[in-house]
Structure formats: C-alpha cells, structure tokens
Amino acid sequence: MMQVIHHPQEMQAWSRAQTRSGATVGLVPTMGFFHEGHLSLMRTAASLCDFLVVSLFVNPTQFGPNEDLDRYPRDFERDIQLAEKEQVAVVFAPTPELMYPKGFQTEVQVRQLAAHLCGKSRPVHFAGVATVVSKLLNIVQPDVAVFGEKDFQQLAIVRRLVADLNLPVRIVGHPTVREKDGLAMSSRNANLDPANRAAALSLFTALQLAQAQAGQGQLSTAALTVLLEKHIHSFAGTTVDYVSFVNSETLEPIEVVDEWTVLALAVFVEGKAGKVRLIDNGFVLPRQRG
C-alpha cells in the first residue's frame, strides 16, 4: 500500500528504516500534475531500487517575481491516483512551511552552470532548484535519483551539485518523453491554448531543422541561430527567450557544432491565461550516448 508522507522528519525516518533493513531507495523529484513523462521516470527509477519515493512539491523558491507560480497546474488527488498505479512506495508531499520553516536562510548555488541558458532570464531559478534538490536528497537519502533530460540544464546542475558536495547518490538521466507530434511532455502544456498547439511545436521542429542543416554541413551556430529564430517566429504567438548551442558538459556557448553540441531552446507561447514558457533540447549531431 502506497503511503503519503508530509513531514520531512517522518520521511527521513522511513528512508533510514529501509536502509537499515538492507533495501535500496530511489527518488523521482517532481512538482506534480503528472503526465506520461513523470510516469516513465517512475518506472525507470522503480527498476533501479527496492522502494521508490516520489516527491510532490511545487517549490516556491525556484520561481521569480512575475513568473507562473500561481498558475502552475496542480491536482493532488489525481497525482496520488496515478502514483498508486505505479511501483511507488511513498509520495513525499511536504508543504512550503515544512520545507522552509521560519528562520530558514540557507541557499545552495552552482554558479557557473547556472549562469547560462535559463539562468540568464530566470536569475533566482537554479538557486531554488539546487537548494530544494539538496534538501530532498538529504531528507529521502536515496541510493539513486532519476531526472528528466528535458530539463537538461537542471540535470547538469544536479550532477555537479552531487559531485561537489560528495553526496552518496547516483543520478540517472531519463530521455525526454514526447507527445505523438513531438512536443516535449511538460506539466505546463496544460496551460497551452489548443488552438495554438502548432506554435508549441515550433521548438521540436526547430530542433529537427537544426539537425537536418548540420547533417548537410551547416555547422556555424551563428547561421543556425538566425535560421531557427526565423523559423520559430513564423508561428503566431511565439517569443524566443533563447536559441543556444552549447557544450553538453560545460553549457558554454560554442561557435561550431560538434558531437558534444546541444541545442537548447526556450520559447514563450501564448496560452489560455497568458504566456507559457516551454523548453526543449537535443544533441545536434548523432553520437553515442553514454
């Protein structure tokens, strides 16, 4: 029977009990409003451990002023029903007051990796991510944690955080899960206007366009950026946040595409109640994934 635990101390005690018994614990951190992407992360994590914990927490510290914290989709009861159908032992669902009690003042930063891509337009975001992930790893104390590659920069930051702080957990990246038409699955997709679905697909089609152009020998990132921005803006209701070609390890921008190059995109699309910020990414050239 799946448990729902709200208090961090109770969650930590549960995990310690499993470890003492010789069992392994896995973690999938989420902000809820589950879709097939989340469920796929859960299935992968469940295959890597004895007991799976899924955290369900919309973390306020990773949202800046005028971002979509209040509009972020939520449906706790639905999430619990979906988790019960997977091999989830515990849903850890703390409140903001439990995660950030009165007097809380600590912040974790991964400075260089957070300075690129989303960090430029969302300056407080990754400090919030790094802090809450640090807390979740300390509370749940998992042997393995699974994160989606759709949030490529977040995954890089988590891996750096774990290495730098010598945290005893294996971080596993899970490939981006997409809709049948190629749209990367995201909880924010619920805020899209169905009439403007084609605009949301501009990220995926831009990624395909870049891969096709590079395959034909166009490796200049400056030329590709101009082409992709023009492509995205050809869809009504789109505003480019960034189109960036970066090294997959350092996230530093590069001038010429090579096998380590990732194209990262962030685009605002007109939604049901304002602009919805979508992200996507992918390697530009075929390579062996390891």
Would you state the pLDDT for residue 194? 87
Spatial separation of the C-alpha atoms in residues 132 and 62, rounded to whole Å: 9
| Residues recognised as catalytic | 38
Place of tokens 């809380």: 104
Question: pLDDT (tens digit, 9 = 90+) per residue, 136-145?
Answer: 999 999 999 9
Q: How confident is the model at residue 273 (pLDDT cuts 50, 70, 90)?
A: confident
Query: Is residue 63 over pLDDT 90?
Result: yes
Domain 3-174, CATH among 3.40.50.2000, 3.30.470.20, 3.20.130.10, 3.40.50.620: 3.40.50.620
Would you state the pLDDT for residue 31? 98
Least confident of 18-32, 69-83, 183-197: 183-197
Domain 187-280 has CATH 3.30.1300.10: yes
Q: Where are the domains of the chain?
A: 3-174, 187-280
Least confident of 28-32, 80-84, 195-199, 248-252: 195-199
Q: Kindly state the helix (H) or strand (E) to which residue 266 belongs, with its residue range.
A: strand 261-271
Angle formed by the axes of helices 125-140 and 8-20, to 10°? 50
Longest dimension (CA), the chain: 58
User: What rounded mean pLDDT belongs to the chain?
Assistant: 96
Name the nearest CA neighbour of 57 among 84, 88, 95: 95
Query: Is residue 48 over pLDDT 60?
Result: yes
> b/e per residue, 250-266, with b = 16+ CB within 10 A?
ebeebeebeeebbbbbb
Mean pLDDT of 86-110: 98
Least confident of 11-25, 255-269, 276-290: 276-290
Q: How confident is the model at residue 15 (pLDDT cuts 50, 70, 90)?
A: very high
- The whole model's pTM is what? 0.95
Would you state the pLDDT for residue 197? 87
Measured over the CA atoms of residue 181, residue 187, residue 190 and residue 196, the dihedral's sign is: negative
Would you state the pLDDT for residue 288? 57
Question: pLDDT (tens digit, 9 = 90+) per residue, 192-225?
Answer: 988 888 999 999 999 999 999 999 999 999 999 9
Mean pLDDT of 40-50: 98
Tokens encoding 23: 């069992």
Q: How confident is the model at residue 290 (pLDDT cuts 50, 70, 90)?
A: very low
